[in-house]
Amino acid sequence: MASDARTLKDLGVDRIILVDALRKIYDKALRALGDAVEVAPGVLASCLECRGRIPSPFPNEGTFAKHQVRVVDQSGRHCFLITELGLHLIEQHGFFQGHGSFFRIDPGQAAVLLGLCIPPVNTGSE
């Protein structure tokens, strides 16, 4: 979680601004009823509606719809899934889910894809 917070800080992106952008995409894709919608230049989102709800792993935080919104750039190289639970975990706990998790939203990748920041320049020294 500290690494993800540092990534956002380095990019100059506030976590709540990112969550708000992700929530707008989620809502827009949900309203499109499965059709792909453009959410940023060259970035599409579509919703897979799933029945049922999933509880938060934290006590007394409720349950969340299982819908999944797939966000992908036109090259198909960058993709992530947005869920109601994922939005909640980011907003309330700063938790983007673990590296390798199917539902992880990489905060740097999301911020760049959504145009919330300028992509960092790779100097090759890393």
- First vs last C-alpha separation in the chain: 21
**How many C-beta atoms surround the C-beta of residue 107 within 10 A?**
24
Parse the chain into domains and list their residue ranges: 2-113
Looking at residue 124, its pLDDT comes to 55
- pTM for this predicted structure: 0.89
Q: Tell me the three-class secondary structure of 12-31, residue by residue.
A: CCCHHHHHHHHHHHHHHHHH
- Mean pLDDT, the chain cut into blocks of 10 residues (126 residues total): 92 95 97 94 94 95 96 92 97 94 95 86 55
Radius of gyration of the chain (CA): 15
Looking at residue 87, its pLDDT comes to 98
Please return the burial class of 81, using the count of CB atoms within 10 Å of its CB with bins 0-12, 13-18 and 19+. Answer: middle
Looking at residue 1, its pLDDT comes to 84
